[in-house]
Amino acid sequence: MLSIRHLSKTFNAGTVNEKQALRDLSLEVPDGDFITIIGSNGAGKSTLFNAICGTFYADAGEIVLAGADITYLPEYKRYHEIGHIFQDPMKGTAPHMTIEENLSIAYFRAGRAGTLRRVSRADKALFREQLALLDMGLEDRMKSPVGLLSGGQRQALTLLMATMVTPKLLLLDEHTAALDPATADKVLSLTMDIVSARRLTCLMVTHNMHQALSLGNRTIMMDGGKIVLDVRDETRAGMTVQDLLDQFAAGTGSALDADRILLSKKPQ
Ligand SMILES: Nc1ncnc2c1ncn2[C@@H]1O[C@H](COP(=O)(O)OP(=O)(O)O)[C@@H](O)[C@H]1O
Ligand SMILES: [Mg+2]
């Protein structure tokens, strides 16, 4: 269970560039929820994820994960509990290190193996087995530097690294948006497989409204640092993309700014 209570974050407070990115935002996420998040650019979606991960601390409010108050826990102490995947496939992996080295870092960092030690034969077998699940032939390239992989392969590897040791929470920030459509489909279906096989609790930002409604069990819309719509289960099952747009307009008094969103009305 993730509980976010009255979270606020203002950037550059007291300057002309002051920006209130999160405004008294509260959200309860029961274990096993898969929430899709949509909202205009600048709505505060990435800021919410960064606050949950500890990239920076919120100014007010609290974040409780599995009963522990992590509001002011340093980022490095949250790594093993929270997987965070970004839009940019270059971000989640170290290009000059091999696939095996990247996986080892993720594996050790997640704490399963305790303190740093050499990668054992059993670890390698596990890495190979996990890589094979991606169905991209990476299990035969474990000694290749990650920099040689395609964006889609790197994103799939990042996904594996984030979930190899089951996280309490997986945060996906438009993690397929920078990939070509076929690769995006592939990475998305891998994501869905991993999330359901491990019963992960997951928040996923997407700009694709069809995806938002069809994936997971719950959809949240954000605007101006707040949640303006939160629908789940049967209520959501009966909704169309137009309903979502209408409800957004009703909740905020303005239309969703989203060229990108409107352009991607069709499923990707
Ligand atoms: N590190 C930062 N410094 C200053 N302003 C920021 C920073 N991160 C985000 N912002 C601002 O906060 C607002 C919310 O940004 P963000 O959470 O990235 O929106 P979204 O992910 O919904 O597009 C935006 O106005 C953005 O410019
Ligand atoms: Mg963002």
Any residues with CB less than 8 A from the CB of 34 and at least 6 apart, and which?
Answer: 195, 200, 201, 202, 204, 215, 216, 217, 218
pLDDT at 252: 78
Examine residue 17 and state whether it is found in any structural domain, yes or no: yes
Residue 114: pLDDT band (50, 70, 90) is low
Are 194 and 135 contacting, i.e. CB atoms less than 8 angstroms apart?
Answer: no
Shortest-distance atom of ligand 1 to CA 49 = 17
In a domain? residue 138: no
Task: Please tell me whether the overall predicted TM-score, pTM, comes out greater than 0.85 for this model.
Answer: yes
- Confidence check: pLDDT of 265 > 60: no
Q: Which residue's CA is the closest to the ligand 1 atom numbered 2?
A: 11
Here the CATH number for the domain that contains residue 167 is: 3.40.50.300
pLDDT reported for residue 228: 93
3-state secondary structure of 116: coil
Reported as a single tens digit per residue, the pLDDT across 167-177 is 999 999 999 99
Residue 142: predicted pLDDT: 96
Instruction: Output 265 or 126, whichever has higher pLDDT.
Output: 126
What is the mean predicted confidence (pLDDT) over 91-112?
87
Alpha carbon of 234 to ligand 2 centroid (Å): 28
pLDDT, residue 258, reads 56
pLDDT above 60: residue 92: yes
Q: What percent of the chain is predicted at pLDDT more than 90?
A: 79
Which residues lie with the beta carbon below 6 Å from any ligand 1 atom?
11-12, 19, 21, 39, 41-47
pLDDT band with cut points at 50, 70 and 90 for residue 263:
very low
What is the 42 CA–ligand 2 centroid distance (Å)?
A: 7
pLDDT tens digits along 44-83: 999 999 999 999 999 999 999 999 999 999 998 887 899 9
Would you give the DSSP letter of residue 122?
H
Q: What separation in Å is there between the alpha carbon of 139 and the centre of ligand 1?
A: 38
Say if CB 89 and CB 154 are below 8 A apart.
yes
Can you give the residue range of the structural domain that contains 59? 2-94+151-263
For residue 136, give the nearest of 151, 123, 122 by alpha carbon. 151
Q: What pLDDT does residue 267 have?
A: 45
Mutate which of 47, 85, 86, 88 for ligand 1? The one with the most ligand atoms within 8 Å of its CB, which is: 47
φ and ψ at 93, to 5 degrees? -135, 160
Instruction: Out of 12-16, 17-21, 119-123, 145-149, pick the least confident.
Output: 119-123
Q: Which atom of ligand 1 is nearest to the CA of 173?
A: 21
**What DSSP state is assigned to residue 184?**
H
Domain count, the chain: 1
Tell whether 125 is covered by a domain: no
Does residue 118 form part of some domain?
A: no
Average pLDDT, the chain: 91
The string of pLDDT tens digits covering residues 163-213 is 988 999 999 999 999 999 999 999 999 999 999 999 999 999 999 999 999
H helices present in 3-144, as ranges: 45-53, 99-109, 121-134
Residue 76: inside a domain? yes
Sheet holding 226-232, edge to edge: 82-85, 169-173, 202-205, 34-39, 218-223, 226-232
The verdict on residue 101 lying in a domain is: no
- Joined together, the tokens standing for residue 247 give 């409800």
Integer Cα distance of 229 and 96 in angstroms = 43
171 domain-assigned: yes
For ligand 1, atom 20: residue with the closest CA: 42
- Give domain status of residue 102, yes or no: no
